[in-house]
Chains A and B, each alone.
Chain A
Amino acid sequence: MSTGAPRRGFLRTWIFSVDHKVIGLQYLVASATMLLFGGLLAMAIRWQLAWPWTEMPIVGQLVFGDVGRVISPAAYTALFTMHGTAMVFFAVLPLLTGAFGNYLVPLLVGAPDMAFPRLNAASFWIFLGAMGLFLAGFFVEGGAAESGWTAYPPLATLPSAAPGSGAGQTLWLLAIVVLGVSSILNSLNAVVTVVKMRAPGMTWMRLPLTVWGLLVAAALQLAALPVLTAGGVLQLSDRWIGTAFYTPAGLLVNSVAPEVAGAGGSPLLWQHLFWFYSHPAVYVMVLPAMGFVSDILSVHSRKPVFGYKPMVWAMSSIAGLGLMVWGHHMFTSGLGFEMGRAFMLSTMLIALPSAVKTFNWIATIWGGRIRLTAAMCFALGFVALFVIGGLSGLWLAATPVDVYLHDTYLVVAHFHYIVFGGTVLAVFGALHHWLPKMTGRALSETLGRWHFLGTFVGLNCVFLPMHQLGIAGMIRRTADPSVYQLYEHLAPLNRFVTWSAFALAAWQLLFVVNVLWSLRSGTRVGRNPWEATTLEWEAPSPPGHGNFDRDLVIDCGPYEYGDAAGARDFRPQARSRS
């Protein structure tokens, strides 16, 4: 406790704290739990796709006992809806902006805390409320939401169209709206912290790229998230007070006119509002990861980031263009010919900054003195797999090809390479890199590298064949591909994917073991185990309340590594004011 803060009880320290580091860890535990939960849902999805309508050992009886021990079509629909929602909204986004955003931003800019510590705690507790609403969906009549994580009306808005479009969908919408409020507050806090709380000498062009990634992501959240939140409120009012923003006139569900008071709305309006946020959300899920990877690659190859300013420009233009590409999710929606052309062009453009960054990463490690730590392995894995996800995006950006591939498994392969192969690997890398700072103890490098090896091989076995499934025309969200003769010969591929997914999931235990072992008996680390330059390594591990035990003056950029760095091969950003 460097600043001499009084010792407090367990509740004040770990539960009702306003310290950004504690809140970051709270977010970390909550979102990691949701990551695990979403992963388990994925296992059930994979079971169904490999062996449709058969009973899962043990789980079948426990979870699906009341529906004949097998996954029913309605339960399957709820499974992928909740998997997607859990992963995007409650695992990956809060892992990046909540856990790492909170923990790292003040430390990396040299601030004692976030700009608004109480607001920060409020964001977390509102987030927990949203999580509760989301999970409550499983326990209401009709079951959890069943309209996909995209919740397209009228399927989502008409309770007679799907069992899950009753109370389950209402809870889903409430969860998204409440989460929106939490994330907007959190993003506001992050932006203000970077703008106002930087230590003396920490100019904009001396910010580590991790901070740039988190900052640009937060700004993007602020620009786009209010739109989805408002759209969610509109969908709620369609359900509750009989407005019809999204419901057209004259519908017949099961030959019966649904009980809706109004009519004359447009289902496409929701798609616009949803993707206006949810496409930028993909960049929110990858920009911070790009920042982490840039930092890890530089530290562990003892070389400066290649092209710092181009990297900052690339991230900023990804965010700017990211607001203009949502229509590429709607090429087959009846968007119109000219609109399709316009969104195709903006989508092609946004591929450019991502591709440029890839070459900058390779140039960063080129000729470096690479230390193949577990963190470095994961960062390199990110580069390799992000490239695959980016390249398959070229097919999807080309409108005529997208018409064929839209809503097939190629899309599933594409975004899992970005979010799992990219972001989740970057998060594992970041945990190996920064967890010693958070806990004061090292993780096992050996276990970490084994975990990387299996994860890298496993996730390619899971997601690579999905390209072929999609190219062969297999649609996503199908509960049983064997309905179509066209998909019959794909069954072996589907079973291979499922076996690989089980192995990949089981392999993650290595990481859990590693973390638990490290918490108990990991070697204690000093302030700067990686010999890194940025400010967090000036603080004790773990940092006390107020973060730094001496005043910092920043007199150089974040990436002074190599032969020009001075006495050692790195030059810390901070000089002690003595």
Chain B
Amino acid sequence: MRHIAALLVVALLAAVVVFFAISPAHGWWLPAGASSIAHPIDALFDGILVVIAAGFVLVMALLSWAVWRGARSQPGRARTTHGHLGLELAWTASIGAVLVGIAFAQLPTWAALRDPRAMPEGGATAMVVAHQWAWRFAHAGDDGKLGTEDDLETASELVVPAGEPVLLTLRSRDVIHSFFVPELRIKQDVVPGRAISLWFTIERPGTYELVCAELCGFGHYAMAGRVRAVARTEYDAWIAERSRARLTNGAEDAR
């Protein structure tokens, strides 16, 4: 019996360690980060993973050892101990220190993500409008400003310049949605009645899937979009080309 019980804990330990070890090779892990904020976030994730792994191995080792030793048939009774103040203080203080460490380690990253003082200047690059169940985007046109007549509208695909800060304004027409781009490590709920600012810098040009992460009705699962990051020159060319097309084609361009 005790063999099985102690082995079960050891088996859990081994299974978890092995499964986590093989996961990255199968892609069952963080997708490659493509934004500047992805580096510190992934570093935090890895750092906390080390703490988790250490805590897990320690507790499982103690638990299996305690079961293994305690469940054998042994003469006499257990010693009546009601506790040990020193031990209590020791583990409370050490766990507390680790938690405080994690709390402080993440502060700069949180500030980079959300501190309004870190918001890029010069106005928003694009406006995101979410509704059941699609994404619409308005890009600042030739004048570089949003909310003017030359805004360029697209559906499903947001185009942004790579390698520089991008500022978005998020709005919803109906229910709560959430703007989630896994490869950028960015997620922000889009709350009706509010205009929420979101900023990031995409390092690698490419197309990244945009996922709606907040339940928004039965079409929630299919509310997919894309974020396409292109080099600055290409971005300017795209704006210029779309502006010309808009002048010739009128407003029907907003597909």
Nearest to A398 among chain B residues (CB) is: B106
Query: From residue A46, how far is it (CB to closest CB) to chain B in Å?
Result: 15
Cβ A306 vs Cβ B70 within 8 A:
no
Interface assignment of A473: CB less than 8 Å from any CB of chain B: yes
Q: For the complex, give the distance between the alpha carbons of A397 and B49 in Å.
A: 13
Query: From residue A267, how far is it (CB to closest CB) to chain B in Å?
Result: 6
Interface assignment of A576: CB less than 8 Å from any CB of chain B: no
Interface assignment of A404: CB less than 8 Å from any CB of chain B: yes
Interface assignment of A469: CB less than 8 Å from any CB of chain B: yes
When A341-B110, A400-B41, A485-B209 are in contact, do A365 and B8 touch as well, CB less than 8 Å?
A: no
Cβ A73 vs Cβ B88 within 8 A:
no
Residue interface bits A324-342, CB-to-B below 8 A is 1, else 0: 0000000011101100110
Cβ B59 vs Cβ A387 within 8 A:
yes
Q: What B residues does A307 contact at CB under 8 A?
A: 82-84, 88
Cβ A564 vs Cβ B80 within 8 A:
yes
Q: For the complex, give the distance between the alpha carbons of A255 and B142 in Å.
A: 29
Interface assignment of B191: CB less than 8 Å from any CB of chain A: yes
Interface assignment of B176: CB less than 8 Å from any CB of chain A: yes
User: Which of A120-128, A157-165, A211-219 forms part of the interface with chain B?
Assistant: A157-165
Cβ B12 vs Cβ A460 within 8 A:
yes
Q: What A residues does B106 contact at CB under 8 A?
A: 344, 398-401
Cβ B92 vs Cβ A155 within 8 A:
no
A side interface size, CB within 8 A: 116
Chain B contacts with A in 12-69, Cβ cutoff 8 A? 12, 15-16, 19-20, 23, 26-31, 37, 40-41, 44-45, 48-49, 51-52, 55-56, 59-60, 62-63, 66-67, 69
Q: What B residues does A140 contact at CB under 8 A?
A: none
Residue interface bits A231-256, CB-to-B below 8 A is 1, else 0: 00000000000000000111111100
Interface assignment of B115: CB less than 8 Å from any CB of chain A: yes
Cβ A333 vs Cβ B221 within 8 A:
no
Q: For the complex, give the distance between the alpha carbons of A191 and B63 in Å.
A: 34
Query: From residue B197, how far is it (CB to closest CB) to chain A in Å?
Result: 9
When A154-B192, A304-B82, A365-B70 are in contact, do A475 and B9 touch as well, CB less than 8 Å?
A: no
Interface assignment of B243: CB less than 8 Å from any CB of chain A: no
- Which listed residue, B91, B92, B185, touches A403 by the CB 8 Å rule? B185
User: Which of A24-32, A476-484, A522-530 forms part of the interface with chain B?
Assistant: A476-484
- Which listed residue, A337, A360, A408, A469, touches B114 by the CB 8 Å rule? A337
Q: What B residues does A260 contact at CB under 8 A?
A: none
Query: From residue B136, how far is it (CB to closest CB) to chain A in Å?
Result: 12
Interface assignment of A561: CB less than 8 Å from any CB of chain B: yes
Interface assignment of A351: CB less than 8 Å from any CB of chain B: yes
Cβ A475 vs Cβ B91 within 8 A:
no
Interface assignment of B96: CB less than 8 Å from any CB of chain A: yes
Query: From residue B230, how far is it (CB to closest CB) to chain A in Å?
Result: 20
Interface assignment of B231: CB less than 8 Å from any CB of chain A: no
- Which listed residue, A344, A399, A401, A483, touches B221 by the CB 8 Å rule? A483
B side interface size, CB within 8 A: 101
Nearest to B113 among chain A residues (CB) is: A400
Cβ A400 vs Cβ B109 within 8 A:
yes
Q: For the complex, give the distance between the alpha carbons of A272 and B58 in Å.
A: 37
Q: What B residues does A132 contact at CB under 8 A?
A: none
Interface assignment of B242: CB less than 8 Å from any CB of chain A: no
When A303-B80, A399-B110 are in contact, do A359 and B91 touch as well, CB less than 8 Å?
A: yes
Q: For the complex, give the distance between the alpha carbons of A471 and B109 in Å.
A: 19
Q: For the complex, give the distance between the alpha carbons of A359 and B88 in Å.
A: 9
Cβ A337 vs Cβ B111 within 8 A:
yes
Cβ A468 vs Cβ B12 within 8 A:
no
Query: From residue A171, how far is it (CB to closest CB) to chain B in Å?
Result: 18
Q: For the complex, give the distance between the alpha carbons of A358 and B55 in Å.
A: 11
When A146-B217, A370-B70, A406-B213 are in contact, do A358 and B100 touch as well, CB less than 8 Å?
A: no
Q: What A residues does B63 contact at CB under 8 A?
A: 362, 380, 383-384
Query: From residue A424, how far is it (CB to closest CB) to chain B in Å?
Result: 17
Chain A contacts with B in 436-462, Cβ cutoff 8 A? 449, 453, 456, 460
Interface assignment of A181: CB less than 8 Å from any CB of chain B: no
Q: What B residues does A351 contact at CB under 8 A?
A: 95, 99
Cβ B29 vs Cβ A484 within 8 A:
no
Interface assignment of A395: CB less than 8 Å from any CB of chain B: yes
Q: What B residues does A268 contact at CB under 8 A?
A: 191
Nearest to B217 among chain A residues (CB) is: A162
Q: For the complex, give the distance between the alpha carbons of A372 and B220 in Å.
A: 47
Cβ B28 vs Cβ A251 within 8 A:
no
Cβ A407 vs Cβ B213 within 8 A:
yes
When A370-B70, A490-B28 are in contact, do A362 and B41 touch as well, CB less than 8 Å?
A: no
Q: What B residues does A400 contact at CB under 8 A?
A: 37, 40-41, 44, 106, 109-110, 113, 185
Interface assignment of B206: CB less than 8 Å from any CB of chain A: no
Question: Please, could you name 25 A-B residue pairs with CB atoms under 8 Å apart, sorted by A?
Answer: A152-B175, A248-B192, A252-B174, A303-B80, A304-B82, A306-B83, A348-B100, A356-B91, A356-B92, A359-B91, A367-B79, A371-B71, A377-B5, A384-B59, A394-B48, A395-B52, A400-B106, A400-B110, A403-B113, A404-B182, A407-B180, A465-B28, A481-B221, A486-B183, A489-B27
Q: Which residues of A contact B (CB under 8 A)?
A: 72-74, 76-77, 146-148, 152, 154-155, 158, 161-163, 248-254, 265-268, 301-310, 332-334, 336-337, 340-341, 344-345, 348-349, 351-352, 355-356, 358-360, 362-363, 365-372, 377, 380, 383-384, 387-388, 391-392, 394-395, 397-401, 403-404, 406-408, 449, 453, 456, 460, 464-465, 468-469, 471-473, 475, 477-481, 483-486, 489-490, 493, 559-565, 569
Give the 10 A-B residue pairs with the shortest CB-CB distance, closest first.
Answer: A248-B193, A473-B182, A562-B80, A564-B80, A370-B70, A307-B83, A468-B28, A73-B218, A400-B109, A479-B221
